[in-house]
A and B are shown apart, each in its own frame.
Chain A
Amino acid sequence: MEERNKVLEVKNLKTWFHTFKGVVKAVDDVSFELYEKEILGIVGESGGGKSITGFSIINMIDEPGIIETGEILFEGRNIVRLSEGEMNKIRGKKISMIFQDPMTSLNPVYTIGKQLEEILILHESLSKKERRNRCIELLKAVGISNAEKRLKNYPHEFSGGMRQRVVIAIALASNPKIIIADEPTTALDVTIQAQILRLMKKLVRENNCALILITHDLAVIAEMADRVNVMYCGKIVESGYTRDIIFHHLHPYTQGLIGSIPGTDTEKKRLTTIEGVVPNMFDLPKGCKFAPRCAYRQPVCFEEEPEIRDFGDNHRAACFFPVREGAV
């Protein structure tokens, strides 16, 4: 991580949903950057705005959502307001996505080969034969044996883990700069999860590609990520290198998330939980969004919203009373 070239910089991104019941600030003033070849984890509970952050990057926010303000700098230009046509030259080619449920992310009525080939037709200028060879090569790279025959198969003829491998192959097909993986292993068996994660890590490294890994599972993050953004109610509450987040976290929310990871210790102690529930997104508390659930809250937490502060070595947190004192 010595020479660090930014591939993506998100500045003050706000993605809001204007519904009948009111405005949901799904992503509210989020800034972060992604460096080349880096694995960045985004972690948080459901509804924290992780997925919406991912979808905002490739500008796939559906109504009633809209990117209110903010910049997403990719290859030196702001891609927030690009036209659909221009965006389609980035999607799949430069930035691709992997979805949560491999059972539903492949089109059931087309063969694997056709769906793989489609992305090559869109973004690469290869002959028919070259495309076929590339498809076989990609399937082999994600560990699908008998690739030539498998090209003619339909998604329903594959298991969940195999489908996710196909999805990864599609995401990698035109050597993207960034892959955004939205809960890529959540829907898989635990035994398969580790395989898929290891495969993704290997392929990302081999292809010099950066990965944004969105998950609610801190264990996955600890295994995979170089850096972590912790999100809560649409905001980044803490960010830093994975080891700092795991061992020297500052934000009480991060502490809560880590406390709720089941360990494999011999002693069977009860898991700690974070009290309360995620607040209603239509009616967020004033001040710190986490204050109602926080063990260290003070009156000021309900009044003012803490700014995100730098604690050195890329470690930032938005809390008045960070868990680890004396760091300031």
Chain B
Amino acid sequence: MFKYLLKRTFQMVFVLFIVSVIVFTMTSVIGNPVYNMLPQKATDQQIQEVVVMLGLDKPLYVQYWIFLKNAIRGEFGRSYTHFVPALGLIVSKFPATIEIVIVAMGLTILLGISLGVLAGARPKSKISKLIMFGSLAGISLPSFFMGMVYIFVFAVSLRWLPVSGRGEIGTILGIRTSLATLDGWRHIILPSMTLALLNIATIIRLVRAGMMEVMRQDFIKFARSKGVAARKVLYGHALKNILIPVVTIFGLQLGELIAFTTITETIFAWPGMGKLLIDSITNLDRPIISAYLLFVAILFVVINFVVDILYTFIDPRIDLNS
């Protein structure tokens, strides 16, 4: 296990190095922030001063070296538009994003797995057909569209839930979050549903396919012949055998949601990381974009690492060292 962890850590560092090179190249090549920061009638001398101030006059590899040194210390420079440290800004927006993601992933686990198991256990029943129809719709309909449909139905027409914004914010364990207040929850429901829909639909189909396969296995029949109740056969014996692909996809979904809630956050005017990213791209706010991309890369690498470790808990036949 220790050997594996070591190997894996080395791999992660290598991946992050590659990502840092890509991020640096992309942000150094695309657009020129100097013109964005200065008024249109700035003199050549003023332009030159800003170039020197930002260190853009140095050769690229020197710039990269400085970038890397700073990045390791968590410094990506100050945002060109907000004038605060870029990473700090991202971190400050993190709770807002993570709270809708947690609720969305909670919904995904709950509904995706239970409906998937139901549909897979009795594939010919009416209820399974209904579930499969629903999941097909969930996969086909784009989430931004569903977000607007939810707003129209639940917020505008029925007036059950607020249209947008984060609502009242409370404190749990020192973290300021909407999950702490009832009003916050009312605001969270719609964006979370928007985020969750595609994931629920995907997990349903994955779980169903796995269940249909595994329910034919002898060990399921053997479990039944032992007198294990149907429900326990499904959730105790069958489910654990199909979790490998489910956990894999779930990990990818989780990373994707945290990193790219942009559309949903834009629709619901949710002040999270996604919205920050969109605004920064519009403003060519390099430090934020590069900090964000590296942040996302680390996130994915870590989640995948956790998923790999989870494999060994799910299936004893998996040996990480081989």
Binding site for B on A (CB under 8 A): 58, 60, 63, 84-85, 88-93, 96-97, 99-101, 104-111, 118-119, 122-123, 154, 156, 167, 170
Contact = CB atoms under 8 A, between A and B. Distances in A.
A50 B222 CA distance: 17
Contacts of B218: 99-101, 104-105
B237 interface: yes
B124 A90 contact: no
B230 A84 contact: yes
B49 to A, nearest CB: 65
Interface string B203-220: 000000000000001110
Nearest to B122: A63
Given A60-B221, A99-B218, A167-B222, A109 B227 contact: no
13 contacts: A85-B229, A88-B228, A88-B229, A90-B227, A92-B227, A97-B222, A105-B219, A107-B222, A108-B219, A122-B226, A122-B227, A167-B222, A170-B222
Contacts of B317: 108, 154, 156
B229 A92 contact: no
Contacts of A123: 227
A133 to B, nearest CB: 20
Contacts of B316: 108-109, 111, 154, 156
Interface in B217-266: 217-219, 221-230, 237, 240-241
Contact of B226 (A85, A108, A118): A118
B5 interface: no
Contacts of A100: 218
A260 to B, nearest CB: 28
Interface string B307-319: 0000000111100
Contacts of A119: 226-227
Contacts of B237: 107, 110
Interface string B283-322: 0000000000000000000000000000000111100000
Interface string B42-57: 0000000000000000
- In this complex, the interface size class of chain B, counting residues with CB under 8 Å from chain A, is 20 to 34
B311 to A, nearest CB: 11
B314 A109 contact: yes
Contacts, number: 76
Nearest to B226: A92
B217 A104 contact: yes
Nearest to A64: B124
Given A63-B124, A84-B230, A101-B218, A109 B225 contact: no
Residue picked from B221, B227, B229, B315, most chain A C-beta under 10 Å: B227
Given A63-B124, A106-B219, A107-B241, A118 B224 contact: no
Interface of B: 124, 217-219, 221-230, 237, 240-241, 314-317
| Cβ-closest 4 pairs across A and B | A92-B227, A92-B226, A91-B227, A97-B225
A183 B223 CA distance: 18
B241 A96 contact: no
B228 A109 contact: no
Nearest to B222: A105
B226 A170 contact: yes
Nearest to B317: A156
A125 to B, nearest CB: 14
A216 B314 CA distance: 38
A314 to B, nearest CB: 29
Given A107-B219, A119-B227, 19 more contacts: A58-B225, A60-B221, A88-B228, A91-B224, A91-B225, A91-B226, A92-B225, A92-B226, A96-B226, A104-B218, A107-B241, A108-B241, A108-B315, A109-B315, A110-B240, A118-B226, A119-B226, A122-B228, A123-B227
A60 B225 CA distance: 8
A109 B222 CA distance: 14
A167 B221 CA distance: 13
A93 B223 CA distance: 12
A80 to B, nearest CB: 17
Contacts of A104: 217-219
Contacts of A154: 316-317
A167 B219 CA distance: 10
Nearest to A103: B218
Contacts of B227: 88-93, 119, 122-123
A110 B317 CA distance: 11
A7 to B, nearest CB: 17
A125 B292 CA distance: 58
Contacts of B222: 97, 99, 105-107, 167, 170
Residue picked from A96, A104, A109, most chain B C-beta under 10 Å: A109
Nearest to A106: B219
A60 B220 CA distance: 11
Nearest to A90: B227
Contacts of B228: 88, 92, 118, 122
Contacts of A109: 240-241, 314-316
B109 to A, nearest CB: 19
A12 B203 CA distance: 46
Nearest to A180: B225
A43 B4 CA distance: 53
B213 to A, nearest CB: 13
Contacts of B241: 107-109
Residue picked from B222, B223, B240, B316, most chain A C-beta under 10 Å: B222
A101 B219 CA distance: 10
A248 B228 CA distance: 43
A176 to B, nearest CB: 10
Nearest to A122: B227
Contacts of A97: 221-222, 225
B148 to A, nearest CB: 42
